[in-house]
Structure 1
Amino acid sequence: MQTPAVGRHRELARLRAAVVAAASGAGRFVLVSGPAGIGKSWLAERAATLATDTGLRVARGNAVDDAGMPPLWPWHRAARELPELAAALDTVTQPGGGPAAQRFRMFTEVAEVLTAAAAPSGLLLVLEDLHWSDPTSLALLTHVATDSAHTELLIVATTRDPMSDPLVAVQPAWLRLPHYRSLPVPALSEPEIRYWLEQLERPPTLAPHIHQRTAGTPLLVRLLLDSDTDDPLPGIHRLVLSQLERLTPHDIDILSAASVLGERIDQDLLTAVCLRARDPHHPNRSLDPRPDGGSARDDRDAGQPVLGGIQADEWGSAADERGQLTAGARWQVMRDRVSRALDAATAAGVVRRFDDGALGFAHALVRDAVYADLAPSRRAEFHRGAAEALCAVGGPDSAVAGAIATHWRHARPDSAQGREWSRRAARAARASAAHDEAIRFGQWAIDAAGVTASDAERAELLIELARDEFAAGRVAASLEHCVEAAELAEQAERPDLLAAAGLVVQGVTTPTVMTQLDMLCGKALRLLDPDTHPDLIARVLAQRALSAADRGLGAKARELSDEALRAARRSTDPDVALDAIHARHLALSAPEFLDERTELAAEAIEIAVDAEQPLAQLWGYVWTADAALQRGDLSALDDALDHIELLADRRHLPLARWHLLRLRATRAVLVGDFPAGLAADTAAFDLAVSIGDYSLAGLHHAFRGMYAVIVGHIDRVELTAALASLAFAPKITIAQLFAPMMHALAGDLDEAAALFEPFRTIPDTLEIGPRWSGTVYSVGLIAELLADAETADRVYRAMAGCERYYSADGTGALICVGSLARVRADNARVAGHLAEAVDLYRDGLTMDIAIGAHPFIALGHLGLARTHYARADFPAARAAAEQAAAAFRRLRMPHRLVAADALLRDITTATRAADPLTPREREVHGLLATGLSNRDIAARLVLSERTVETHVRNILTKLALPNRNAIRR
């Protein structure tokens, strides 16, 4: 008996409104929620009917209560009705990018496909039972829903209350969507139950009793009405079991086997499971009496029924003329018996047929009750049969490995089969970038290994788990398992596994992490045989070089990276070569190694193209762009940006798009196009957030901070945001310098000085290597803002030889501040090396003018004006300050303009103090000195004689001279 449309008029009206809105191009995302049995699936079916009647396409997917459910299962189910969706889901397997980039590329492709499929007539996507969904499916739903507001796409999802933790985690993002609608489904009221009874011609006086017993849950109402019993209602379990009383024991046993397979029932798979099960009444008999193809005659002679109620003569009727039972015959007999059992269960209301034609339990709670009633040994037997049946059916691991692993885990948690299939399920989840699921299956594999697996086998499993944990961002857990795996590898005398454990975690600059990784790699290097493991040696050396570079050991990083590169030259594996090139490039990230870095970038691009590794190509072009900035070659920079854009477009690499936006922001600021630079930076930040890479998102605040330094101002709101971002920044010196820099820029000089104190001597001790240039620049900038002459002198001396370059060093140009000659000149000026500062400013102006770096040309003129002013060369100071002021006005840099105007006022005051005469008085003074009379001077200057007399009096007064003869003398 189906639940009638009782008490759901409001919900149906809201669904109808959502269908109409989507059909008109205003997408909707409706989440139908409520407790088990409240009628969520019924509403989803009605939504599908409304959509079909309105002309919308309909695609349905659902999660299942099965730990072996493959990642993205609801989406793959929906793809049965949308073939183009299946192709989009497969884009995660395309090469290029890390886990986050691969997943984002697939998410974007799915959103675009659904938008296209929805146009022009509309599309309803139904996703049921999200409380069982995997986190990756929910993340994809969030992405698609975010992009669907102005499309013809209607999403109707259902979930059980209370919500699962993954659902709770995504709720805030859904609530922010303007087109999101929450549709909680209430219980039925007593009058609504009375109406239901009237529709069934049952006494309406039963309504109060039924409402009290069921709390208005439609499923319980239906089961109670179907039970034909006046017994008090103890709950769903009792009701379901009462429904089963209508079935024969053999039907119940087949239904029990079905409950092991899940809520939906695959008759062929259920048949296969039953063929592998034993009759509970005859424990020594299999459902299939002749697994070896023997005669059916023996079973007839035995006269005993087999599981499922199939009598021996039924098997005999399927035998051939020799009395042999073929596999096909056995299959058909059992399938007929399964069909009869399901028909009986359907008549009893325990099983129902869904709109898509599939059979399944009437509700998940019904399936749960049947499953819970199984004896543990019987449940394990069915799970084992399900695992074996799925193995026999076969199929890609992405579809079956998780289910098989789950069944083995229930059948025998420590079995070799369970370990192998858990491992295969983890690999399949990994291929779908579903790392949370891969971690779960990886842990299962380790559990199944127990103490029976060898040390080497357990080490391999731990390394695989650690890789998935690292990909999911669980660095601490990943490192812990790497250390555990390394210990097992040592015990097993497997240096290759020891090396593999040391190579899992990469790019983490936390000191404790780097120390542990360095220890693992050091042990591996001592044990690896150069003849047996040359590639691993190259990779481990590269890893150690990266670690040394991150710890500030520049010389050690260059030494190790050189060894790694030489070892990689002997390898035929492009991945090994690219790892070594990456380590070498980082080790050489300082101004003086520009030529070799340029060569490494070109080599990386060439290898990556041949090896079809778009991410390595990206690094090559990013390095090329950085080198072009350091040389001041904007044409080469633009060429590199074009290649990065091609990669972003062709490969759908979000990381490439982020680098493109970041470099465009850098270039725009360099030439003074501040609006374009800020817009590109904002787009890069939004992209980083959508990818979920908050390390990239944090660079947005660093960029805005450096922009504030260039324009000479930061307000309090920006200061607060910039300082808050430091909580997520790595604990490295260049990041720690950001706080005193921002405080000094904001005018909090005492706070800045206190924070800056531990870093004042860094230029004397910091090794040349990655981030050296940026760190020393930051120290010098703060010294300038604080007028710290001693520290500025350290920076001035440390940067000797860098003045022929522009400000990029190979570590990724967050922002380019033009010529390093101007940067060094700023520190020379603050340190009091004024003559040297004038020469450096002039060199810097030549360099910045050559590339059109307009903000830094203006800053160069301002610095030069301040230097001339300090040297009391007021005419030169005025000329430079006027050029700076004009440029700041043109570039709309008001705070810098205020500084230039203030300097001009100071120059005027100082000029007057040094020479109190006006220009006209100075002119008259010069003629007086030659001995000319007032009349002659008046004639020469075309003035009246009286005016000349006034000028003479003023000159004598201002210069405190007794008479005009004193001027001559």
Structure 2
Amino acid sequence: MGRADELAQLRAALLAASAGSGRLVLVSGDAGIGKTRLATAVAEMAAEYDVPVARGYAVDDPGMPPLWPWRRLARDVPSLAGALAADAALGSASARFAMFTDVTDALADAAKAGLVVVLEDLHWADRTSLRLLTHLASELAGTKLLVLGTFRDADGTPLAEYLPDLLRATMTKSIRLAGLSTQDIAHWLRLAAMDVDIAEQLEAKTNGNPLYVRMLVDCGPDLSGHPELRRLVLARVPEEAKELLGAASVLGEEIDLPLLTKVSGVREECVGELLDAAVRAGILRARPSISFVHALVRDALYEQLPPSQRMALHQRAAEALAETGPPGPVANHWRLAGNVEKTVHWARKAAASAIEELAYDEAVEFARLALQFPDARLTLELAKAEYLAGNINASLAHCEQAARLDPDLVAEAALVNTGLGDLTTISTVDRMCAEALRREQPGAIRARLLAQRAIAMVGPGNSPALSRELSAQALALAEASGDPDALMDGLHARHFTLSAPQFLAERREIARRACDLGETPEQPLAALWGHVWLVDAAFQSGDLDGVEREIRQIERFAATRQHALAWWHATRLRATHAALIGDIERGLQLNEATRKIATRIDIHAEGGLYYAYRHQIAILRGVLDKDEAQLMLRILAEVREVLLARICIPMTYALIGDLASARATFEEFRHLPAKLQIAPQWSAALQMIGGAAIMLDDTETADAVYRVFSTLEPDYMTDGGGAVFCAGASPRLVGELALATGRVTEAIDQFRLGIEMNSRIGARPFLALSKLGLAQALLRRGEHTDVPEVRRLAAEAAAEFRRLDMPRPLATADALLREAGSASPLSRRESEVAELIGQALSNKQIAERLVLSERTVESHVRSILSKLGYTTRTEIATWNIRSQ
């Protein structure tokens, strides 16, 4: 009734999906507004086209198992059951991503001839279910799936977090159901052979809500007899079924007959009869399964139960479900029954079960439910669940709280949030590690604590040398303990603290040892890290065959383990490789792909890495769109505590031509080159400071960077800290710094070495930049004999810049060609001879004209040919005309 426009939109969506352009339609509205009726109409519409329909739903029950809507959907799409049976051994958010991909593929396969998926009451859905729907929404294009989701007000529910992403999806359409108009209600009344004059009164009383309207119409037009909905609902409940339906309201909206029989105490032979009566009365619906017609009906029945009866029913439900049901509903029923001890017991079981199913958000909720009173172990279990769910701040706070409640747990608490993180996380973990190390600890635990401390000591205000020493101690202790997880943590810390160009050989050996550990540690990514580190080492040494070999190892790991984090590493490293060899467009595409993977698995650092890559491409090309520059500046301002982020600010200003702002923001970096200690990101910071100094003609700072960089062994400018970008051979940068500081001879030598090194690995952008730098240095030297080489180098560089779309270097090369063209390599007398050759005079005629011997003229001609790189007089004549 009154839904013609909405039905037309849904029919269009169904036809589009059937044609291979999948759709997600989100239908929202108040309780009773007609969302389920509209979904039923879509199902009837699908039947007209022989398109099958699958249904799933969420329920208003905190004990609802994770992914419940999708598991109910599996009844209609059996292939989903296998996809939803995630391998708990994967144990990470990226494993959840793999499961999402399997579910999406299963639905796409099931929809080869078309499929309508109805997901009802998403406002009650768990976070994992909503993450899965968000994943599916991004993959609908090219499928024959029509997904219809219904929900009420999302505020205060998990749906509120995911709704913006769902609505932004390309294939999403949103329909908001409003109440029926007075005209719609009048039409309804006419069809029911009732007085249409009460239509306006009904609309005012119900705000057009179809459920309220229907119940008032069914009960008669006398509104004064029905002042509130609950009373209205209960008036329809058959008296003989009230006790049974009260028990059913405790169990949820869907009715499980065997469970209801156990909980209600009603004889089994009577249950069916009473439920039939409720269906006839419009309190229950029979299809697709027996359930309350609306949540308001169940709520009204639940609220009218006396508290003691309600608690007793919850206790019976908990006892019945404990035999075969999942632990989550059992825990919730014990909570509502008021039994704290059993609530804690079952909530802990439910949290562990949710972790096994990769439903980390639900694990947090159950762990929180278990924490009925201050308890160190329960607090730590909550912290572990929060860490898995990505709630790092909450996890850290609960780790600290657990350590305060029971100091004996401080070591375990310190090792919950492992790995690298932001400065706050690292410093908090470090404080707990320091406290734990004041106590006697087993060797393996002590090694892991020292490894975490070593990582923390790399930060601002600490000693990088001390962090390297501490990481060596941690590794030695781990080796002595024989514990594989301690050894992995020790190798991780050691590799991190040695992330600088000087330690390439040791880092490579650490990476190989990590690879040898393989699957031995319990950590799910242990077999990955060694290969990631070997890629960094191969980039630094210019071994692109090694880069390819190790990336394939990472991809093999990702494919075998279905690990999205491994795919993220493989994709970002392929983006680095693509830029290095000049496939810039592919590099940008891979960077976008990396961002999409990271967004799905909640890698919080990805935003910075994504823009860091784009920033390096902008520096390479020498141009940056002003809108993107403003976006970058806003992002960089949010992470000003990170040195590498801050140095990007003046470089961004320089790229858009705001040199005043660039110089002002660069001021803090001018004193750093001589003061920076060797540590992770040391070489990257120096590279960027040196690059900014060249951009801003800051000779003093360029000189300071040159004095440091010129002492390093030539390499390919990565340091083991994660190869976001590789800028080719380091001698090119040393050459640019030398040229900027007036060291022309040194610059020439460095550029020639840069050409040889970049040519060896096919680093096309950086080979062209090396040729341009050498051309500039040769021209600066001012020797006439260099001019032909300058022209050749500048021309070759310009041609490559055009092919690679590098506008700023191309403009520089073109300007250099013009300058070189106006600079003659010939002496004054040779220029006179060349001019006369251009006039087609013979050597004898030239000798007579210049009063020289013919032999002298021949000597001049040979010299001209040599300087210009020519072999014939015709080429000299052509050059002379062009020069003029």
Whether TM-score is above 0.5 comes out as yes
- Cα offset for 1:902? 2.5
- C-alpha distance in 2, partners of 1:83/1:264? 20
Written as runs of structure 1 = structure 2, the 5 A alignment for 1:906-925 is 906-907=819-820, 919-920=831-832
Written as runs of structure 1 = structure 2, the 5 A alignment for 1:791-870 is 791-870=701-780
- Cα offset for 1:559? 1.5
Tell me which residue corresponds to 1:136.
128
Q: 2:811 matched to 1:898?
A: yes
TM-score (norm 2): 0.89
Deviations 1:704-761 (A, max 9, x none): 2212222333342342233233145472211211111222333333322221221222
Tell me which residue corresponds to 1:407.
333
- Cα offset for 1:153? 0.8
- C-alpha distance in 2, partners of 1:704/1:206? 65
- Cα offset for 1:779? 1.4
**Structure 2 residue corresponding to 1:110, chosen from 84, 98, 103:** 103
**Structure 2 residue corresponding to 1:875, chosen from 785, 809, 826:** 785
Written as runs of structure 1 = structure 2, the 5 A alignment for 1:560-579 is 560-579=470-489
- C-alpha distance in 2, partners of 1:347/1:710? 74
- Cα offset for 1:471? 3.6
CA change 1:187–1:743 in 2 (3 A) is closer
- Cα offset for 1:630? 1.0
- Cα offset for 1:115? 0.7
Contact kept in structure 1, 2:345 and 2:370, CA below 8 Å: yes
Q: 2:356 matched to 1:431?
A: yes
Tell me which residue corresponds to 2:341.
416
Contact kept in structure 2, 1:510 and 1:730, CA below 8 Å: no
CA change 1:843–1:32 in 2 (3 A) is closer
**Structure 2 residue corresponding to 1:66, chosen from 61, 69, 94:** 61
- C-alpha distance in 2, partners of 1:220/1:885? 81
Deviations 1:925-965 (A, max 9, x none): xx99xx9994554686499xxxxxxxxxxxxxxxxxxxxxx
Contact kept in structure 2, 1:470 and 1:504, CA below 8 Å: yes
CA change 1:212–1:883 in 2 (3 A) is closer
The unaligned stretches of length 5 or more in structure 2 are 837-842, 860-884
Q: Which amino acid aligns with 1:362?
A: V
Contact kept in structure 2, 1:865 and 1:878, CA below 8 Å: no
Tell me which residue corresponds to 1:720.
630
CA change 1:626–1:371 in 2 (3 A) is same
**Structure 1 residue corresponding to 2:214, chosen from 199, 210, 222:** 222
**Structure 1 residue corresponding to 2:367, chosen from 442, 451, 463:** 442
Tell me which residue corresponds to 1:634.
544
- C-alpha distance in 2, partners of 1:727/1:565? 37
CA change 1:16–1:753 in 2 (3 A) is closer
- Cα offset for 1:904? 4.2
Q: Which amino acid aligns with 2:284?
A: V
Q: Which amino acid aligns with 1:895?
A: R
Tell me which residue corresponds to 1:525.
437
- C-alpha distance in 2, partners of 1:433/1:728? 32
Q: Which amino acid aligns with 1:138?
A: L
CA change 1:430–1:838 in 2 (3 A) is same
Written as runs of structure 1 = structure 2, the 5 A alignment for 1:207-356 is 210-227=202-219, 230=222, 231-244=224-237, 246-248=238-240, 251-275=241-265, 334-353=267-286, 355-356=287-288
Q: Which amino acid aligns with 2:329?
A: A
SS at match of 2:731: helix
SS at match of 1:243: coil
CA change 1:920–1:679 in 2 (3 A) is farther
Contact kept in structure 2, 1:236 and 1:366, CA below 8 Å: no
SS at match of 2:458: helix
- Cα offset for 1:652? 2.9
Tell me which residue corresponds to 1:498.
410
Contact kept in structure 2, 1:352 and 1:362, CA below 8 Å: yes
* Identity rate, percent: 43
CA change 1:878–1:701 in 2 (3 A) is farther
Contact kept in structure 2, 1:463 and 1:501, CA below 8 Å: yes
SS at match of 1:265: coil
CA change 1:596–1:186 in 2 (3 A) is same
SS at match of 1:181: strand
Q: Which amino acid aligns with 1:361?
A: F
CA change 1:528–1:55 in 2 (3 A) is farther
Tell me which residue corresponds to 2:682.
772
Contact kept in structure 2, 1:257 and 1:274, CA below 8 Å: yes
SS at match of 1:126: strand
- C-alpha distance in 2, partners of 1:13/1:478? 48
Deviations 1:34-93 (A, max 9, x none): 221222222222322332442222211000011111222111110122221122223363
- C-alpha distance in 1, partners of 2:468/2:378? 34
Q: Which amino acid aligns with 1:385?
A: R
- C-alpha distance in 2, partners of 1:213/1:704? 58
- C-alpha distance in 2, partners of 1:374/1:258? 11
- Cα offset for 1:500? 1.8
Contact kept in structure 2, 1:247 and 1:344, CA below 8 Å: no
Q: Which amino acid aligns with 2:263?
A: V
- C-alpha distance in 2, partners of 1:28/1:818? 45
SS at match of 1:761: coil
- C-alpha distance in 2, partners of 1:770/1:505? 21
TM-score (norm 1): 0.81
- Cα offset for 1:853? 1.9
Q: Which amino acid aligns with 1:257?
A: A
Contact kept in structure 1, 2:327 and 2:346, CA below 8 Å: yes
Contact kept in structure 1, 2:572 and 2:590, CA below 8 Å: yes
Contact kept in structure 2, 1:62 and 1:129, CA below 8 Å: yes
CA change 1:461–1:776 in 2 (3 A) is same
- C-alpha distance in 2, partners of 1:733/1:865? 33
- C-alpha distance in 1, partners of 2:53/2:661? 62
- C-alpha distance in 2, partners of 1:680/1:214? 54
Tell me which residue corresponds to 2:531.
621
Query: Of the two, which has the highest radius of gyration?
Result: 1
Tell me which residue corresponds to 1:538.
447
Bigger CA drift: 858-867 or 575-584? 858-867
- Cα offset for 1:337? 4.2
Q: 2:522 matched to 1:591?
A: no
Tell me which residue corresponds to 1:478.
395
| Paired residues, number | 848
CA change 1:403–1:52 in 2 (3 A) is same
Tell me which residue corresponds to 1:600.
510
Contact kept in structure 2, 1:874 and 1:907, CA below 8 Å: no
- C-alpha distance in 1, partners of 2:56/2:429? 44
Bigger CA drift: 715-724 or 699-708? 715-724
- Cα offset for 1:632? 1.0
Q: Which amino acid aligns with 2:401?
A: E
- C-alpha distance in 1, partners of 2:44/2:141? 22
Contact kept in structure 2, 1:744 and 1:786, CA below 8 Å: yes
Written as runs of structure 1 = structure 2, the 5 A alignment for 1:582-731 is 582-609=492-519, 615-727=525-637, 729=639, 731=641
Q: 2:315 matched to 1:388?
A: no
CA change 1:142–1:578 in 2 (3 A) is same
Q: Which amino acid aligns with 1:781?
A: G
Contact kept in structure 1, 2:485 and 2:522, CA below 8 Å: no
- C-alpha distance in 2, partners of 1:651/1:932? 87
- C-alpha distance in 1, partners of 2:384/2:640? 22
* CA RMSD after TM alignment: 3.1
Contact kept in structure 2, 1:608 and 1:614, CA below 8 Å: no
- Cα offset for 1:229? 8.7
Q: Which amino acid aligns with 2:88?
A: T
CA change 1:22–1:577 in 2 (3 A) is same
SS at match of 2:148: strand
Tell me which residue corresponds to 1:955.
none
Deviations 1:647-687 (A, max 9, x none): 33333333223322322222222222323323322332343
CA change 1:186–1:725 in 2 (3 A) is closer
- Cα offset for 1:365? 0.3
